[in-house]
Structure 1
């Protein structure tokens, strides 16, 4: 599952990502306190799965699934709906461009995705605690880097009914790819994580969270091509069935 990245990574609009994070913070402030927290990482993973999958839809599907149907109300109150939608669609288009099939085929060893994955270094943690934005206890309980992105991706897969495949080789391939995504969510030191690494890697020593994230992202790119291939095979199968039907027609 090893890949190399010897080409330039596609550009990312950092300022737009920051704006999007601020809008999500506003949504979190307006949400029910008992509602599960939805981060920028979660949204980014969810939207990536929508664009990777067999039937890409629209970013609003991610918003409805993660925040409920009434999420626009928080923006309407402050006249921020258009600004938020602009930021959301810009990020959606960035992900879509990074999953353009031709570059994926031309340079399969290149990292094309530019995921929004939060990682707090010690300095950032100290600043957030000092500002009162996060408590030390909450910071200690934050998931590992990449886990929230993976959770968003997997939630999209679970929410959709278009990822089902008949049993066979393709179904097994999809299962293995989804396991590579899920591996990023496994707690460090857990038996499940150790077992996965032992089975998935020829040289399991030294496989850390960064290596799992790297393979998760390359797997997401591979999934884009996988679903395109399935669409071609499905079309060819349907055409063959039509031809057989015509051949059996009597006059």
Structure 2
């Protein structure tokens, strides 16, 4: 299992050891969570953190933890004196995401992939080993989400939780909806009608559009969203400034 398939390509832009440590500490929290609740993976957390960095409001990584695990999430870590180690690993990852979304590089090289997501992927050898060890059944393995799906789900959950990712009709709302559709597409089942319909609508040449292509487009879209919300903030500030000037006369 590779916790970050893009790490080799980007070299020092990801602290792989920190990502592994974060995943291990996150597993402690997952082990204490309600077994009936949806599983929260490193991918889910990473997608959520990225949405917080990208979005329209100032945010902090603690918001992701409270949203995904509830306000009392530190208790399980406190019992094993792991809270400080977790917070350190969390902030290292938060800073990596923030650095990768610095606006100036995005503006100067929009065709370059700056974002470095933690997207887990099981290769065929790892799958076979897990089944042989009894760690996972073939049935459960077959039901596992496709690569990128959990990351996208985390991102979209942050969008939903925020209640700030909305715009009045005509103020970029259509562009925002289109970009969010590109992220949602990664979560759609491979053989589903909604996925086929999306690909047919979104691509002039739909042949060869697989999960990896959807992931690439999702990540470029996330970079575009970072600039989109910066522009929306600048526009809002400009309007507020004009309104303030008008009110003085």
Whether TM-score is above 0.5 comes out as: yes
Instruction: Name the counterpart of 2:36.
Output: 34
Distance in 1 (CA, whole Å) between partners of 2:233 and 2:35 is 42
Q: Cα distance, 1:169 vs. partner?
A: 4.6
- List structure 1 segments (4+ residues) > 4 angstroms apart after TM superposition: 7-10
Instruction: Name the counterpart of 1:137.
Output: 139
Instruction: Name the counterpart of 1:218.
Output: 220
Q: Tell me if 1:236 matches 2:238.
A: yes
SS of 2:207's equivalent?
coil
Q: Cα distance, 1:242 vs. partner?
A: 1.7
Q: Tell me if 1:155 matches 2:157.
A: yes
Identify unmatched segments of 5+ residues in structure 2.
Answer: 1-8
Q: Cα distance, 1:222 vs. partner?
A: 0.3
Contact 2:186 2:218 in 1 (8 A): yes
Instruction: Name the counterpart of 1:87.
Output: 89
Instruction: Name the counterpart of 1:60.
Output: 62
Q: Cα distance, 1:47 vs. partner?
A: 0.4
Q: How does 1:39-118 map to 2 (within 5 A)?
A: 39-118=41-120
Q: Cα 1:10–1:221, aligned 2, differ >3 Å: closer, same or farther? A: farther
Distance in 2 (CA, whole Å) between partners of 1:32 and 1:150 is 22
Distance in 2 (CA, whole Å) between partners of 1:103 and 1:9 is 17
Identify unmatched segments of 5+ residues in structure 1.
Answer: 1-6
Contact 1:180 1:215 in 2 (8 A): yes
Instruction: Name the counterpart of 1:3.
Output: none
Number of positions where the alignment pairs a residue of Structure 1 with one of Structure 2: 241
Instruction: Name the counterpart of 1:12.
Output: 14
Distance in 1 (CA, whole Å) between partners of 2:69 and 2:136 is 22
Instruction: Name the counterpart of 2:174.
Output: 172
Distance in 1 (CA, whole Å) between partners of 2:44 and 2:134 is 23
Distance in 2 (CA, whole Å) between partners of 1:229 and 1:198 is 30
Q: TM-score, normalised by structure 2?
A: 0.93
Contact 1:9 1:111 in 2 (8 A): no
- What's the CA shift string for 1:168-227, capped at 9, x where partnerless? 150000000000000001111211111111111111111110000000000000000000
Instruction: Name the counterpart of 2:5.
Output: none
Q: TM-score, normalised by structure 1?
A: 0.93
Contact 1:197 1:204 in 2 (8 A): yes
Q: Cα distance, 1:56 vs. partner?
A: 2.9
- What's the CA shift string for 1:115-156, capped at 9, x where partnerless? 011110111112222333322221111001100000000000
